[in-house]
Structure 1
Amino acid sequence: MKLEEKLEHSESLGGRSPPCLDGMPQANGKLKANGKVEVSVKQEADGKSSRLGKSLNTYTWQEVQRHNQGTDQWLVINRKVYNVTDWANKHPGGHRVLSHYAGEDATDAFKAMHLDLSIVHLYLKPLLIGELALEEPSQERNKNPQLVEDFRELRRTLETMNMFSANLGFFFLHLAQILTLEILSWLILYHFGSGWMVTIFISILLTVSQAQSAFLQHDTGHHSMFKKSKWNYLMQKFVMCHLKGLSANWWNNRHFQHHVKPNIYPKDPDIDVGPLFLVGDTQPVKYGKKKIKYIDYEIQHLYFYMVGLPLLMPVYFNLQSMQEMYLRKYWTDIALVSSFYIRYFITFGPFYGIFGTVLLIYLVKFLESPWIAYVTQMNHIPMKMSSEENQDWLSTQIVSTCNVEQSFFNDWFTGHLNFQIEHHLFPTMPRHNYHKVAPLVRSLCAKHGLQYVNKPILKAFGDIVRALKKSAALWVDAYYE
């Protein structure tokens, strides 16, 4: 079924626009003869609020865009203007997520990242300071209103199709896989002793368990497992902190920034890998022109194998997690991460001793590291990286993200992050539905001339190194010019 047919079908089912977060109706998109969307905003931009008992202030986009500093942050959601300056430091997703959208329309990012809108509304309401003036468009003027409305219509269609409802059996099957591997590794060690062959075998079992735990905590971190946020929160704490030994808060603060502004300097922390690596087209040139040479970047695609792959998990992520936990005093995370190490010492300590158990933990993290590095980097490193361009949500995600072909193995090996495009567009969608919505996303991209990249997994792995080699060449040209 084509996208247009899906949209017509959803409307035939009574699929009208759901109410906005703030209780006001969403813009009703009408198609003009010239193909552009005429957004009816009269009701939304009425300028009166019976709930507040007074008229709302009205603002132009030019006025909103001035408030884009760390100490002065406004943003727009469904044509309503919110001052989030004081709320930023209390934001559960981290203060940087809000600052990344200061002075911009955050409607689609807001809808994408939040699961329980009724709860979020309670926090938004006191932050409301006004709305866009009647004559102002619903998005900034540089954005394509037809594309924005088509994407929102797609989301409404997917909501009608229940694509955001999780199959709990699917997720508990994955949790059972993880726990089974953990228990099996101990049973094998108990029955066969701690010989080197047994140690290698249980290390492999624990590596698979750790990698699959990473994918499961990713689901719970995005609130795609349970309908209630609190259950996702508790499950993520258990999986990330207790099963993996990393801070859930650290991951959330870092990962949500990546989602709202992927591959955008300096907002996406995932591409801030200097001075060890230079990525994209602009960072290498910047380093080269400034004659910066911390390392011989000309061979960065080679030492990626020696440094990037084996040290991502045991060194880089582990140290970052510990540092943020203690500096920010995440006491719950500290207690649960401690329980991870206590569990390992109780389980494996009688066989390996304290020092041997520490070595086992880091051997497993060392083996897991290439797996996670390949899966997390293959979708973004080869794609476009740029400074802030304030594009619409669909374009922002598509140009910076690619997919890997579907197969049973690829789905399992990547935790369904081979559907990275769908995941980035709809972060709270359960991963078992990605393959169902992919044809609709591909159709929408084709309609608006956006390239939907889907490649074999081995090519995706190789593209990481090819992208690093390309960036290295740009650095060489700038450095020696």
Structure 2
Amino acid sequence: MPPQSGSSLLKPEPSPDISRLFTWEEIGLHSGRRNSKQEKWLVINRKVYDISQFHWQHPGGTRVISHYAGQDATDAFTAFHKDEDLVKKYLKALQIGELASDQPSCEPNKNEMLVNDFRELHSTVKRMGLLKPNYYFFMFIFLHTILFDVASWLTIWYFGKSWTPFLVGIVLFTTCQVQYGYFQHDLGHVSVFQKPKWNRLFQFIVLGILKGGPPSQWNFMHNQHHAKPNCFRKDPDLNMHPFLFTLGKPLSVELGRKKKKYMPYQYQHSYFSFLGPLTFMIFAQGAIIRYTIKRKKWVELACIVIYNIRVCLMYVPLMGFKSFMAFYWLSRFLECTSIIWVFQMNHIPMNIDYDKNLDWVSAQLVATCNVNQSLFNDWYTGHLNFQIEHHLFPTMPRHNYWKVAPLVKSLCAKHGVQYHCKPLLTAFADIVRSLKESSKHWEDAYLHS
């Protein structure tokens, strides 16, 4: 059972004996599922840590750190923690030893030269100041989003609820909600302010009050996605598999061989455009309520209620309750449509499988791709057209992605790692193409195995 209090995070305990030396084989046996005691060990910078109890108290969530049990977590640790020196104080109590001198710095199955070159690149990026935010940029992002929000209400207030202002209002409201989503995404990755506490505070305001969602749930889910992208049972973004869609060749073949058919997968490329956003909209609303009540996040639940009351008070007097319901849910559907296509264009066409314990660079590159840079693409996707750079450096402010992209391309070229970049419409089309290919793999396995 998880401890009832996370107070041990506040007071570093004395370090235990750390003179023991381990091999990668020993560490791999402590992944939490391969030993009867459910022990969880991991490695950070050649030091071995026992997180068997700590994972319950981990501020980023129990799952995100548990996903690295039995593995090298060095690059994930560096990527997620902006203030490494602060966090390292609390690691001392968890250290149980180090790697033996004859052991490589990462698991034998990984490309050690690529790992070392990326770590050098990360140090270079830090020295160049690319992890520091430009406050004027994010001020503009926030203010322009507020303008869309205000413009939506003013359109209905001034022009009335006839079809033209009604539809224009929906477009403006949808746009502001999508852009709020991208901005809270920046805050969730602690990339807007230098201090994590300011990012958390403003994320609470933007996501909790301006969008009506629980920041703690978003962080809990999204951290796992970044830790193990496109890894089945570790990446929550794959939760719709296999109940709605079959994704990727390995999982599709496995599903087919087991004679599982929850949906008519052979048509999934056709129903994705409607059923994907609709399911996400319904699932998101239900999951939000369930999460806040189950985890007793009463303040976040209150913000969700306040958000919905606020929106009702703004629009119901102008258009009536029935028209407002149409306005609200249509805009929500359009918002979910935009989010799903933007987020999945970088992931669904890429490799989807179980966790193969790849090195950080390879794991992110096989699961992500980029979309060509342009002013529109940058704005429309919240700079997630630079998905590769975002996944490699999740705390990097988005306005610096284009600066680090050439360095990442050079690293990939040096080590023969594919760096995928494509036009926006091609990326959208690739979602449909990959869904169709996955359905064929499932159908072949289902009919012929």
TM range (shorter): over 0.9
Asked if the contact 1:75–1:101 (Cα under 8 Å) also holds between the matched residues in 2, the reply is yes
Is the partner of 2:65 in helix, strand or coil?
A: helix
- Alignment-derived partner of residue 149 in structure 1: 116
Q: Displacement of 1:240 after TM fit?
A: 1.3
Q: Displacement of 1:355 after TM fit?
A: 4.8
Give the distance between the partners of 1:420 and 1:55, measured in 2 at CA. Answer: 39
Question: What does residue range 256-405 of structure 1 map to in structure 2 within 5 Å?
Answer: 256-273=223-240, 274-308=242-276, 310-405=277-372
RMSD in angstroms over aligned alpha carbons? 1.6
Give the alignment partner of residue 77 of structure 1, picking from 35, 41, 44: 44
Is the partner of 2:327 in helix, strand or coil?
A: helix
Asked if the contact 1:312–1:369 (Cα under 8 Å) also holds between the matched residues in 2, the reply is no
Amino acid at match of 2:395: T
- Alignment-derived partner of residue 106 in structure 2: 139
Is the partner of 1:69 in helix, strand or coil?
A: coil
Identity of aligned pairs, percent?
48
Structure 1: runs of 5+ lacking an equivalent: 1-50
Provide Cα deviations, 1:335-383, integer angstroms capped at 9, x if missing partner: 2222211210221122234454344322211121221111000001001
Q: Displacement of 1:312 after TM fit?
A: 4.8
Give the alignment partner of residue 86 of structure 1, picking from 45, 53, 69: 53
Is the partner of 2:98 in helix, strand or coil?
A: strand
Asked if the contact 1:313–1:365 (Cα under 8 Å) also holds between the matched residues in 2, the reply is no
- Alignment-derived partner of residue 63 in structure 2: 96
Is the partner of 1:265 in helix, strand or coil?
A: coil
Amino acid at match of 2:49: Y
Provide Cα deviations, 1:314-348, integer angstroms capped at 9, x if missing partner: 21322222221222222222122222112102211
Is the partner of 1:140 in helix, strand or coil?
A: coil
The 1:393–1:53 alpha-carbon spacing in structure 2 relative to 1, beyond 3 Å, is: closer
The 1:203–1:125 alpha-carbon spacing in structure 2 relative to 1, beyond 3 Å, is: same
Is the partner of 1:76 in helix, strand or coil?
A: strand
Is the partner of 1:332 in helix, strand or coil?
A: helix
2:437 paired with 1:470? yes
- Alignment-derived partner of residue 376 in structure 2: 409
The more displaced of 250-259 and 403-412 is 250-259
Structure 2: runs of 5+ lacking an equivalent: 1-13
2:131 paired with 1:168? no
- Alignment-derived partner of residue 58 in structure 1: 21
Give the total of aligned pairs: 430
- Alignment-derived partner of residue 200 in structure 2: 233
Asked if the contact 1:112–1:428 (Cα under 8 Å) also holds between the matched residues in 2, the reply is yes
Amino acid at match of 1:424: H
Is the partner of 1:387 in helix, strand or coil?
A: coil
Is the partner of 1:458 in helix, strand or coil?
A: helix
The 1:181–1:112 alpha-carbon spacing in structure 2 relative to 1, beyond 3 Å, is: same
Is the partner of 2:40 in helix, strand or coil?
A: strand
Amino acid at match of 1:64: I
- Alignment-derived partner of residue 119 in structure 1: 86
Provide Cα deviations, 1:194-239, integer angstroms capped at 9, x if missing partner: 3332221111100100111111111111111110000110111111
Is the partner of 2:107 in helix, strand or coil?
A: coil
Give the distance between the partners of 2:143 and 2:351, measured in 1 at CA. Answer: 38
- Alignment-derived partner of residue 418 in structure 1: 385
- Alignment-derived partner of residue 28 in structure 1: none
Amino acid at match of 2:252: P
The 1:332–1:119 alpha-carbon spacing in structure 2 relative to 1, beyond 3 Å, is: farther
2:92 paired with 1:129? no
2:158 paired with 1:195? no
Provide Cα deviations, 1:146-187, integer angstroms capped at 9, x if missing partner: 111100011111111100000011111111011111122222
The more displaced of 216-225 and 322-331 is 322-331
Provide Cα deviations, 1:284-337, integer angstroms capped at 9, x if missing partner: 1122112112221111100112211x4154213222222212222222221222
Compute the TM-score of the two structures, normalised by the length of structure 2: 0.92
Asked if the contact 1:312–1:373 (Cα under 8 Å) also holds between the matched residues in 2, the reply is no
Spell out structure 1 runs of 4+ moving beyond 6 A.
none
Give the distance between the partners of 2:324 and 2:85, measured in 1 at CA. Answer: 46
Question: What does residue range 207-222 of structure 1 map to in structure 2 within 5 Å?
Answer: 207-222=174-189
- Alignment-derived partner of residue 9 in structure 2: none
Amino acid at match of 2:32: Q
Q: Displacement of 1:134 after TM fit?
A: 2.2
Give the distance between the partners of 1:136 and 1:283, measured in 2 at CA. Answer: 34
Which structure has more strand as a fraction of its residues? Answer: 1
Is the partner of 2:434 in helix, strand or coil?
A: helix
Asked if the contact 2:48–2:99 (Cα under 8 Å) also holds between the matched residues in 1, the reply is yes
Asked if the contact 1:313–1:368 (Cα under 8 Å) also holds between the matched residues in 2, the reply is no
The 1:54–1:474 alpha-carbon spacing in structure 2 relative to 1, beyond 3 Å, is: closer
Is the partner of 1:227 in helix, strand or coil?
A: coil
Is the partner of 1:81 in helix, strand or coil?
A: strand
